[in-house]
């Protein structure tokens, strides 16, 4: 699930941090201190307890936001080493200063958005996802999740556009989550294309997803749905 990949990215980032040199004891980072709460919030979301997740996340987000409240540079979440380097290059190209936050802050925002969607509070979730697209513009999962939010609004052209960008971003994803992010982006595109009645293109996206994961049940089911729609179409109605 996409939720699991967020937590995996956080845990990997924390584990990858260099150990403090003895005998000096380095205080734990903010991400390390917040990890138990983030894991608890993720568990609450998995258990379909969105309000509990929001209650856990409120002080977590307050701590992160207080930590960078005085920051005047452009803020990014470094979800991986590749992304961190890329964001540094983007800021340099724009001739602006930038700071790379560890992934915990964006993970907390993502979990909050996910919980709000689960509660049907779409209007509150949308600006959170849009904030994530600014903080981590090359993290494919956040683009795909935003595309799924647009699905609820039935904005098929925008859904297709953002999920196409997600496929491009997935190319630099961590190898451990790259297939998952690629598959999610392709299925997102396929859904939008199906709603636009561009069936041939949608089928190709789902086949591409199956090439990545032959056991992708969602892609298989959507191909079956497209076949049903083709069968229902009048003979005189062309289907792309």
Tell the CATH topology of 153-233: 1.25.40
Task: Please report, for residues 19, 64, 85, 135, 194, the alpha-carbon distance to residue 89 in angstroms, rounded to integers and kept in the order given.
Answer: 27, 24, 6, 15, 37
* pLDDT tens readout for residues 125-165: 999 999 999 999 999 999 999 999 999 999 999 999 999 99
- Among 73, 75, 98, CA closest to 88: 98
* pLDDT tens readout for residues 31-74: 999 999 999 999 999 999 999 999 999 999 999 999 999 999 99
What does the DSSP assignment read for 196-229? Answer: TT-HHHHHHHHHHHHHH-TT-HHHHHHHHHHHHH
**Residues recorded for the chain:** 240
Cα separation of 123 and 7, whole Å?
A: 25
* pLDDT tens readout for residues 70-112: 999 999 998 988 999 999 999 999 999 999 999 999 999 999 9
pTM attached to this predicted model: 0.84
Q: Which residues contact 105 (CB under 8 A, 6 or more apart)?
A: 61, 64, 68, 77, 135
Which pLDDT score is estimated for 45?
Answer: 97
- Where do the structural domains in the chain lie, given as residue ranges? 153-233
């Amino acid at each position: 699930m996409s939720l699991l990949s967020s937590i995996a990215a956080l845990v990997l980032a924390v584990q990858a941090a260099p150990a403090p040199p003895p005998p000096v004891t380095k205080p734990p980072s903010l991400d390390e201190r917040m990890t138990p709460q983030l894991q608890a919030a993720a568990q609450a979301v998995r258990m379909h307890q969105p309000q509990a997740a929001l209650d856990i996340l409120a002080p977590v987000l307050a701590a992160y936001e207080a930590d960078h409240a005085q920051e005047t540079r452009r803020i990014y979440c470094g979800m991986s080493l590749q992304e961190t380097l890329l964001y540094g290059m983007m800021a340099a190209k724009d001739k602006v200063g930038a700071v790379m936050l560890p992934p915990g802050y964006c993970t907390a925002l993502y979990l909050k958005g996910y919980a709000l969607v689960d509660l049907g509070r779409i209007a509150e979730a949308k600006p959170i996802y849009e904030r994530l697209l600014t903080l981590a513009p090359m993290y494919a999962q956040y683009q795909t999740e935003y595309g799924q939010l647009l699905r609820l609004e039935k904005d098929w052209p925008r859904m297709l556009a953002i999920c196409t960008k997600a496929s491009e971003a997935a190319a630099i994803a961590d190898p451990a989550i790259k297939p998952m992010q690629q598959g999610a982006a392709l299925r997102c595109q396929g859904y939008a294309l199906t709603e636009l009645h561009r069936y041939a293109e949608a089928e190709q996206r789902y086949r591409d997803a199956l090439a990545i994961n032959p056991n992708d049940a969602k892609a298989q089911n959507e191909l079956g749905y497209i076949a049903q729609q083709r069968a229902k179409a009048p003979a005189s109605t062309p289907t792309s």
